[in-house]
């Protein structure tokens, strides 16, 4: 990753891949090449049950790496659970 590499928001990737934002966040949570900006705990009141919010900025190289990984899973015929909980 270079410092001038383009970055995308979670919303941009979710829209282009047809996924929900939570799924994209989970896919990139521990990925190298993702900038994580977390709100300071001091902004959250003492009585609040909210967790600090983390914004993700996803580099082109991280996006391409994850896309290749999940595409390979689809191509290799991963097994999916049916509605009955059994694997098809």
Element (H, E) at 64: helix 60-75
* C-alpha closest to that of 16 among 55, 66, 77: 66
In degrees to the nearest 10, what's the CA dihedral of 22, 86, 75, 7? 10
- For 5, 16, 29, 59, 61, the CA distances from 2, given in Å and listed in that order, are 5, 23, 20, 9, 9
Average pLDDT over residues 29-52: 77
Q: Given this model, what pLDDT does residue 11 score?
A: 97
Read off the pLDDT band of 63 (50, 70, 90): very high
Q: How high is the pLDDT of residue 84?
A: 53
- Residue with the bigger pLDDT between 34 and 78: it is 34
> pLDDT averaged over the chain?
81
Neighbour count for residue 37 (Cβ, 10 Å): 9
Q: Which pLDDT score, from 0 to 100, does residue 88 have? A: 44
Task: List residues bridging with 55 in a β-sheet.
Answer: 37
């Amino acid at each position: 990753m270079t410092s001038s590499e383009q970055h995308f928001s979670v919303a941009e990737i979710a829209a282009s891949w047809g996924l929900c934002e939570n799924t994209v966040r989970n896919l990139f949570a521990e990925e190298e090449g993702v900038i994580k900006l977390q709100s300071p705990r001091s902004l959250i009141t003492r009585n609040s049950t909210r967790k600090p919010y983390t914004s993700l900025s996803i580099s082109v190289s991280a996006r391409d790496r994850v896309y290749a990984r999940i595409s390979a899973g689809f191509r290799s015929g991963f097994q999916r659970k049916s509605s009955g909980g059994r694997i098809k």
